[in-house]
Amino acid sequence: MGYAAYREHPGRLLPVHQTRFQVLDVTVPCTAACGIRRALATCPDAGVLRCEPLLHEPPTARHDVLRVRLAIRLPALRYAQVLHLLLDTCPTGEIGRLIGWREHLDRCRPRHAG
């Protein structure tokens, strides 16, 4: 079962270039997810928004443990720092799409039939 934990913006005023957030999708073994969360805690305003277990992924020799997809929120100016943290923490992870904050919110918004 996946879960979502959205962090509230602390309310402080920042220059416009520092308030643009992006969301990076990363797929890692579930055993590495905790280490990634700890590493991201050292990066200001970055953190895991969602951790989704990939339960229906077929097992392979390369991936013998359950994997999870992390949605990581990061300031646009911290992209390189976050990538270095990810590569140091879990070099076997798969870096996915980088999307803007608005696109992420649209993706998470429930779609109602009708």
Taking only the tens place, the pLDDT of each residue in 38-87 is 999 999 889 998 899 988 876 555 657 889 999 999 998 889 999 999 99
The rounded distance, in Å, linking the Cα atoms of 32 and 38 is 10
Domain ranges in the chain?
20-108
Rounded to whole angstroms, how far apart are CA atoms 30 and 25? Answer: 14
pLDDT tens digits for range 19-32: 588 999 999 999 99
Q: What is the pLDDT of residue 92?
A: 87
Please give the full DSSP string across 47-80, using - where no structure is assigned. EEEEEEE-TTSPP-SS--S-EEEEEEEEEGGGHH
The token pair that represents 25 in the structure block: 């999708």
Q: Which fold has domain 20-108?
A: Alpha-Beta Plaits (3.30.70)
What's at 106, amino acid-wise?
Answer: D
